[in-house]
Structure 1
Amino acid sequence: MSHISAVATDQKTGGAAAPKLGNPAVVGLAGFGLTTMMLQFHNIGWAGIGPVIWLGLVFGGMAQLIAGLQEQKTGNNFGYVAFTSFGCFWISLAAMLIGNKFDLFPSSTTDIGWFLVAWTLFTSILWVGSLKISKAMAGCFTTLLIGFILLDLAHFGFPQMTVVAGWVLLVCAGLAWYMMAAIVLGELFGRTVLPVGKPVL
């Protein structure tokens, strides 16, 4: 039986074993986690906005977008929509901040608030999906959704919520890195090193 399977595989790949492909989620989770972390360093008051903009354009934006497009090839619709969408989120957020700096299609605090409300609604859909993946993913999207709601409030009259959101979203960033590490270390050691937990639903 194994010989037949090997022959069938060789026929499909033209006689050569199919190359092993990397998991694009590791880059998507890395970019999402690091850029989210940097933004919270800013929201809490530890860092300026500069690193957020450049990371938002490159790692959280471009790299995460590319990872999402690669997820499409694996047939993973959740990763496809999550990474490409949040890659676009970071690029558009960075572009808005640059636009405000140079008075190019400027956005008011309320404008950015509505931008965040739209992303909150979008995130709520993915939050439901995350419950079917793992406890770590559910935790990541739960803290992301709570963080978005707090940032919504911060932009509509409750600015003190910005710092609270910062702490909540640092947990979100940490969970994204935890899942990245679970994939990378699990492959390297050939076993589960960091458990992500069974789906909530």
Structure 2
Amino acid sequence: MGQETVTIVDKTANPAPLGLLGFGMTTVLLNVHNAGLIPLTSMILAMGFAYGGIAQILACAMEYKKGNTFATLAFGSYGLFWWSLVFLLMVPQITILKTTGTPVQTADPASLAAYLFMWGLFTLLMFIATLRLSRGLQVIFISLAVLFFLLTIGELTGSKLITMIAGYEGIFTGASAIYVGLGEVINEVYGRDIIPV
């Protein structure tokens, strides 16, 4: 009896564009607020919970099935970042919690700075892994690390100027993710590299 070779071809879709666009579009909207162009409204929080959070968590699960550890960690972590940020902003506003006699405090600047700094550190370390990946991912991760550190400084100093600068830098970060995500879709649809990523 002879041996038989079986080749398995992965025919599942590329989940990276979903995760990149969920991250990118939500990041642009939040940073349009940080830049001082629009107020923080339920639109941004809903986008953060749904597209920033759920879409990236779905992309995380799909990347896990593909065996992509980097993308699993990145999309899962940043999806849960968006959920934690929405909860951080919303929990103190929940009326039922206010009536229990122990009001939930809004995060103070030092707490927010610690939160943002840890995300910046995580992102900077993830950037090291992108040095073996595409230039597009390198731009996204290094600009995101800079964004987190600028926001940390803004919280610690109370400087509206630094937060505004962070907002414009964050718009660039989100736009970079949108570019890479749509570039992957366009390149796949056309079967060749049209958009350099």
Q: TM-score normalised to the size of structure 1?
A: 0.86
1:182 deviates by 1.6
1:28-43 equivalence runs, <5 A: 28-43=19-34
Find the counterpart in structure 2 of residue 57 from structure 1: 49
Find the counterpart in structure 1 of residue 36 from structure 2: 45
Find the counterpart in structure 2 of residue 15 from structure 1: none
- Any stretches of 5+ residues in structure 1 without a counterpart? 13-17, 197-201
| RMSD over equivalenced CA pairs, Å | 1.7
Match of 1:25 among 13, 16, 33: 16
Q: Which structure carries more relative contact order (alpha carbon 8 Å, separation 6+)?
A: 2
SS at structure 2 position matched to 1:139: helix
For residues 30 and 86 of structure 2, what CA distance do their matches in structure 1 show?
11
% identical aligned pairs:
32
For residues 147 and 48 of structure 2, what CA distance do their matches in structure 1 show?
17
- Any stretches of 5+ residues in structure 2 without a counterpart? 95-102
Find the counterpart in structure 2 of residue 155 from structure 1: 155
1:8-157 equivalence runs, <5 A: 8-9=6-7, 20-49=11-40, 50-102=42-94, 103-157=103-157
SS at structure 1 position matched to 2:157: coil
1:43-72 Cα shifts (integer Å, max 9, x gaps): 112222222211111110111111111111
Are residue 183 (structure 1) and residue 175 (structure 2) matched?
no
For residues 39 and 176 of structure 2, what CA distance do their matches in structure 1 show?
24
SS at structure 2 position matched to 1:156: helix
For residues 158 and 87 of structure 2, what CA distance do their matches in structure 1 show?
24
1:109 deviates by 2.0
Give the aligned residue type for 1:106.
T
1:105 deviates by 4.8
Find the counterpart in structure 2 of residue 193 from structure 1: 194
Contact persistence 2:123–2:142 (CA under 8 A): no
Give the aligned residue type for 2:29.
M
1:169 deviates by 1.2
1:130-185 Cα shifts (integer Å, max 9, x gaps): 12111111111111111111000000014221110111111111110111112101
SS at structure 2 position matched to 1:195: coil
Q: TM-score normalised to the size of structure 2?
A: 0.88
